[in-house]
Amino acid sequence: MLTVDAVDVFIQASHILRSVSLGVGPREVVCLVGRNGAGKTTTLRTIMGYLRPRAGGVEFRGHPIHGRRTHEIARLGVGWAPEDCGIFGDLTVAENIEIATRTRPGGRPATERIELAFRVFPMLRRYAGRKGPELSGGERKMLSIARALALDPELLVLDEPFEGLAPAIIPAVSEGLAAITELGRSILIAESNIHHVPEYTHRLYVIERGAIVFAGAQEDAWRDPGLARIIGSAT
Reported confidence tier of residue 234, pLDDT bands at 50, 70, 90: low
Mean pLDDT value across the chain: 93
Asked if pLDDT for residue 104 goes beyond 90, the answer is no
Which percentage of the chain shows pLDDT scores above 70? 99
Here the CATH number for the domain that contains residue 211 is: 3.40.50.300
Per the structure, how many domains does the chain have? Answer: 1
Whether 207 maps to a domain, the answer reads: yes
Listed residue (216, 89, 180, 82) closest to 206, CA to CA: 216
The backbone torsions φ and ψ at residue 207, rounded to the nearest 5 degrees and listed phi first, read: -115, 135
Q: Does a structural domain hold residue 113? A: yes
Q: How confident is the model at residue 165 (pLDDT cuts 50, 70, 90)?
A: confident
- Domain assignment of residue 109, yes or no: yes
Residue 100 within a domain: yes
Q: Which residues pair with 73 in a beta bridge?
A: none
Q: How many C-alpha atoms does 123 have within 13 Å on its Cβ side?
A: 17
- Is the pLDDT assigned to residue 13 strictly greater than 70? yes
- Per residue in 168-195, pLDDT tens? 889 999 999 999 999 999 999 999 988 8
Task: List, in order, residues 6 or more apart from 223 with CB less than 8 Å away.
Answer: none
Whole-prediction pTM value?
A: 0.94
What domain range includes position 193? 24-52+69-233
Within-domain flag for 200:
yes
Residue 115 clears pLDDT 80, i.e. is over it: yes
Report whether pLDDT(105) > 90. Answer: no
Give whole-number Cα distances, 229 to 2, 4, 33, 220, in Å: 29, 26, 12, 13
pLDDT of residue 235: 58
The answer to the question of residue 10 being in a domain is no
